[in-house]
């Protein structure tokens, strides 16, 4: 018996494909498919068993942090269930016996986390694409087009919200894993391409000389024949001048009879933490990640529709990670102590080629031959539902924390958990002290008839019968009552609460000036507050630089993916300089090569609106003519309005600036030989000249100069018309002054 028969089938040993019948070829392909699935299934199992035990404590901390963030803090770990349980669920059983014993929480964990996230998510990190060769016009144009693609992708993916999600995952789980993809959908629009083309007869006419029958023109449409025949022609052959003769004929033209609609595509990305993604714990960088496993839980009907529409694979609910700790770590908090129904897990795993060597040598060689650059495998339960060629680096981006020795870094939320627990203890202690601060009084049953006293309505000056307690002739009425001394909070409570708040701010780096709090022991002046905020944000630059590099790498992959799949020119509109313009993404502009992509962070955090407004107020307060000229420059009018938060605020010269920008775009979209006009009366020509001159020397103007010199010269003509209008106005003013002086001297 041949032990390598399956491998022989895969490698085609001893077989001639041309000699096989169709049935034999089909059987061979099926055998090859089964064998590849077996090898891939074995490779997935090897990857899943890696770090299986030591991964549990990491998931435990990540799930705890996620629970604390979502205000689920009265929890304890149940070793038997291998999951967190809510202690209030147990305390509710004692409510009927001991009264309300519910534990209250004051969620400072989320408050401090949101303060840090808000400070870092004012705007997405800007990305700069540079050409591979700065002297190559194609490379420069491609880098510029990549910038436009990045702007479009940021719109489609809601980059600002995704940045908040990335920072939240980073705070709670320590590592962010981004998966980028290209998706086609009819809702994005469709591309119509000709499908069927037929020849259609068309009646046309030829025009020939009436004297020598020389061909004068050909292919005249039928509806233009009468007009063409009435126009006199000059024959270049015989010199005859007069109307031509008409000769009808039949031409055949291609006509599209039907179109094929192909849905357009968009680039997107999703973000995950360690609860959804498994990568080796020993990996020090992205190159050391031999496999990346993404586990998604969804309704079985979705996976059946996606992978098994005919029901051949027999996908059942509850597959995947139902009995593994991974699923418990990522299910929603509402599923505590419950198992989701009709939910199954699909495990998508990407492998680098060098990880194939974890298999037997023969199996590794098979995968190396079939998938030389990498492979993606999708498994539900024990069924391989899909696999395809895919390179891990093209689809995944991982955050890198330089403060950690490995990809998996310490979550910032871990340091906040003890502070949160201490805050809850103090908070509940204070509430209980107030709640039980009303003293309890005991009364002798012989002193007051309590049953009768309860039935007596309270009224001013009322009298109730009472006796001193019996047994002692010297006893007084007060001897029949006793009030229990209640516990009171010591001064240490307030001092410890204040020190805990200060310690929490120091540990997390979320100082009061970040989230708008007041400074302790200070006069809270504007200058003092600004300086304190700058010092507080300095510590966050560590995280900002880290997230900037991560965001830069992710956006580069998204842009390249979009450019690779671009099938026709695309455009998107945006409001710039007071008017709406179209930004085109042309395939012809992607002929070059982009070199490096770098974040434009420069170690500086993005400024909030309040910070920009304060800076503008300070600049205005300097009362410096040079600074004033900069602030009042027409190109800064829109920035000033945004900084003060008043879009309706009018700045002198703003309308002329917007009009000049609109004229610039109109000229760029018009004909090179079309007319160029200005309004001699209404235009403030000096502002138009200043704005247009700045545009022409900007990157946009230089691009126009290289791509369309004719339209650039037309812009120059437009500038010269404004310049001539200024000179004409100056000459008129000089003539008026001369006339006035002549009248004063008695001259006419």
Domains of the chain: which residue ranges?
Answer: 190-263, 653-748
Strands (E), 331-480: 343-351, 375-380, 383-389, 396-398, 441-443
At residue 337 the predicted structure's pLDDT band, cuts being 50, 70 and 90, is low
Long-range contacts, 6-14 (Cβ 8 Å, 24+): 6/31, 6/35, 7/35, 7/362, 7/366, 9/35, 10/35, 10/36, 10/366, 11/366, 11/369
Q: How far apart are CA 200 and CA 275, in angstroms?
A: 63
At residue 96 the predicted structure's pLDDT band, cuts being 50, 70 and 90, is low
Q: How far apart are CA 549 and CA 545, in angstroms?
A: 6
Inter-residue contact 171 to 62 (CB < 8 Å): no
Whole-Å CA distances, 672 to 201, 255, 708: 37, 32, 9
Reading the block at residue 389, the tokens are 């060629």
At residue 39 the predicted structure's pLDDT band, cuts being 50, 70 and 90, is very high
- pLDDT of 95 > 60? The answer is no
Residues 6+ apart with CB under 8 A from 326: 55, 59, 275, 278, 295
- pLDDT of 427 > 80? The answer is yes
Task: Tell which residue, 597, 587, 436, 612, has the closest CA to residue 530.
Answer: 612
- Region 231-243: mean pLDDT is 83
Q: HEC profile for 470-490?
A: CCCCCCCHHHHEEECCCCCCC
Reading the block at residue 54, the tokens are 């030591």
- Region 684-701: mean pLDDT is 84
Reading the block at residue 420, the tokens are 């949160």
- pLDDT of 726 > 60? The answer is yes
**Cα-atom radius of gyration of the chain, to the nearest Å?**
40
Lowest mean pLDDT among 170-184, 226-240, 407-421, 631-645: 631-645
Share of the chain above pLDDT 90, in %: 23
**Where do runs of H (alpha helix) occur along 70-211?**
87-91, 95-98, 108-120, 137-156, 159-173
Q: How far apart are CA 343 and CA 290, in angstroms?
A: 29
- Region 102-114: mean pLDDT is 85
Q: Any idea of the CA torsion for 53, 59, 64, 65, to the nearest 10 degrees?
A: 140
- pLDDT of 518 > 80? The answer is no
Inter-residue contact 80 to 124 (CB < 8 Å): no
Q: How far apart are CA 199 and CA 203, in angstroms?
A: 13
What is the length of the chain?
748
Q: For residue 438, what is the DSSP state?
A: S
Average pLDDT over the chain reads: 80
Inter-residue contact 661 to 691 (CB < 8 Å): yes
pLDDT in tens, 58-81: 988 998 999 899 888 888 777 766
pLDDT in the model for residue 352: 95
**C-alpha 185 chain-centroid distance:** 19
- Region 433-446: mean pLDDT is 75
Inter-residue contact 374 to 30 (CB < 8 Å): no
Q: How far apart are CA 718 and CA 664, in angstroms?
A: 9
- Region 129-157: mean pLDDT is 89
Residue 551, SS3? helix
Q: How far apart are CA 101 and CA 95, in angstroms?
A: 6
Q: How far apart are CA 38 and CA 22, in angstroms?
A: 24
Q: How far apart are CA 562 and CA 569, in angstroms?
A: 12
- Answer whether 0.85 is exceeded by the pTM: no
| Cα 11–Cα 16–Cα 17 angle in degrees, nearest 5 | 80
CA 688, 689, 695, 701 dihedral sign is positive
551 vs 627 pLDDT, higher one: 551
Q: Any idea of the CA torsion for 54, 60, 65, 67, to the nearest 10 degrees?
A: 160
Lowest mean pLDDT among 347-356, 452-461, 715-724: 452-461
pLDDT in the model for residue 606: 60
Inter-residue contact 389 to 372 (CB < 8 Å): no
**Where is 45: in which H helix or E strand?**
helix 22-49
Reading the block at residue 550, the tokens are 């991560």
């Amino acid at each position: 018996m041949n032990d390598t028969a399956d491998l022989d089938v895969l490698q085609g040993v001893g077989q001639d494909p041309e000699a096989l019948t169709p049935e034999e070829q089909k059987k061979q392909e099926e055998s090859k498919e089964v064998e590849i699935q077996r090898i891939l299934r074995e490779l997935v199992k090897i990857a899943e068993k890696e770090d299986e035990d030591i991964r549990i404590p990491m998931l435990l901390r990540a799930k705890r942090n996620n629970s604390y963030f979502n205000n689920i803090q009265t929890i304890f770990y149940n070793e038997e269930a291998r999951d967190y349980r809510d202690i209030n669920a147990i305390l509710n059983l004692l409510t009927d016996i001991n009264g309300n014993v519910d534990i209250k929480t004051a969620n400072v964990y989320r408050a401090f986390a949101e303060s840090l996230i808000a400070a870092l998510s004012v705007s997405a990190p800007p990305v700069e694409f540079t050409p591979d060769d700065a002297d190559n016009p194609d490379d420069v144009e491609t880098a510029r087009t990549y910038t436009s693609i990045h702007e479009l992708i940021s719109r489609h993916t809601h980059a600002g919200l995704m940045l908040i999600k990335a920072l939240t995952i980073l705070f709670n789980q320590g590592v962010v894993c981004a998966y980028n993809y290209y998706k086609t959908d009819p809702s994005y629009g469709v591309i119509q391409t000709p499908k069927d083309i037929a020849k259609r007869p068309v009646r046309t006419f030829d025009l020939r000389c009436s004297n020598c029958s020389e061909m004068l023109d050909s292919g005249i449409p039928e509806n233009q024949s009468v007009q063409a025949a009435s126009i006199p022609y000059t024959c270049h052959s015989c010199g005859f001048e007069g109307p031509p003769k008409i000769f009808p004929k039949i031409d055949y033209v291609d006509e599209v009879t039907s179109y094929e609609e192909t849905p357009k595509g968009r680039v997107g990305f999703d973000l995950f933490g360690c609860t959804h993604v498994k990568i080796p714990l020993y990996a020090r960088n992205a190159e050391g990640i031999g496999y990346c496993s993404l586990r998604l839980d969804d309704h079985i009907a979705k996976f059946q529709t996606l992978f098994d529409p005919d029901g051949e694979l027999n996908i059942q609910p509850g597959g995947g990670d139902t009995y593994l700790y991974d699923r418990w770590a990522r299910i929603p908090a509402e599923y505590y102590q419950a198992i989701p129904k009709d939910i199954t897990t699909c495990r998508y795993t990407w492998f680098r080629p060098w990880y194939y060597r974890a298999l037997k040598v023969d199996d590794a060689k098979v995968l190396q031959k079939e998938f030389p650059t990498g492979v993606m495998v999708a498994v539900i339960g024990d069924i391989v539902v899909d696999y395809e060629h895919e390179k891990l680096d093209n689809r995944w981006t991982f955050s890198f924390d330089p403060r950690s020795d490995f990809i998996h870094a310490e979550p910032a939320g871990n340091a906040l958990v003890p502070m949160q627990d201490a805050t809850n203890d103090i908070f509940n202690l204070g509430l209980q002290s107030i709640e039980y601060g009303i003293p309890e009084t005991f009364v002798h049953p012989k002193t007051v008839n309590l049953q009768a006293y309860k039935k007596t309505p309270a009224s001013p000056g009322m009298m109730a019968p009472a006796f001193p307690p019996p047994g002692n002739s010297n006893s007084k009425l007060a001897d029949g009552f006793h009030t229990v001394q209640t516990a009171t909070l010591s001064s240490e409570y307030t001092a410890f609460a204040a020190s805990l708040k200060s310690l929490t701010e120091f540990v997390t780096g979320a100082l009061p000036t970040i989230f708008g709090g007041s400074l302790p022991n200070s006069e809270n002046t504007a200058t003092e507050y600004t300086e304190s905020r700058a010092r507080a944000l300095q510590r966050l630059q560590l995280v900002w630089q880290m997230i900037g590099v991560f965001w830069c790498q992710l956006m580069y992959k998204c842009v390249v993916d979009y450019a690779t799949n671009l099938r026709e020119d695309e455009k998107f509109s945006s409001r710039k300089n007071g008017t709406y313009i179209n930004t085109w993404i042309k395939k012809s502009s992607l002929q070059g090569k982009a070199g490096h992509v770098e974040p434009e962070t420069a170690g500086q955090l993005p400024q909030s609106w309040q910070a920009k407004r304060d800076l503008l107020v300070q600049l205005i307060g300097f009362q410096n003519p040079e600074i004033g000229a900069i602030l009042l420059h027409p190109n800064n009018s829109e920035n000033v309005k945004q900084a003060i938060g008043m879009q309706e605020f009018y700045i002198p010269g703003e309308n002329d600036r917007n009009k000049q920008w609109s004229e610039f775009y109109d000229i760029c979209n018009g004909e090179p030989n079309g007319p160029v006009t200005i309004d001699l009366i209404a235009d403030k020509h000096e502002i138009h000249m200043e704005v247009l001159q700045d545009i022409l020397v900007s990157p946009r103007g230089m691009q126009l100069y290289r791509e369309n010199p004719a339209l650039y010269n037309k812009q120059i003509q437009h500038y010269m018309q404004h310049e001539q209008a200024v000179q004409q106005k100056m000459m008129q003013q000089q003539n008026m002054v001369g006339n006035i002086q002549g009248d004063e001297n008695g001259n006419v």
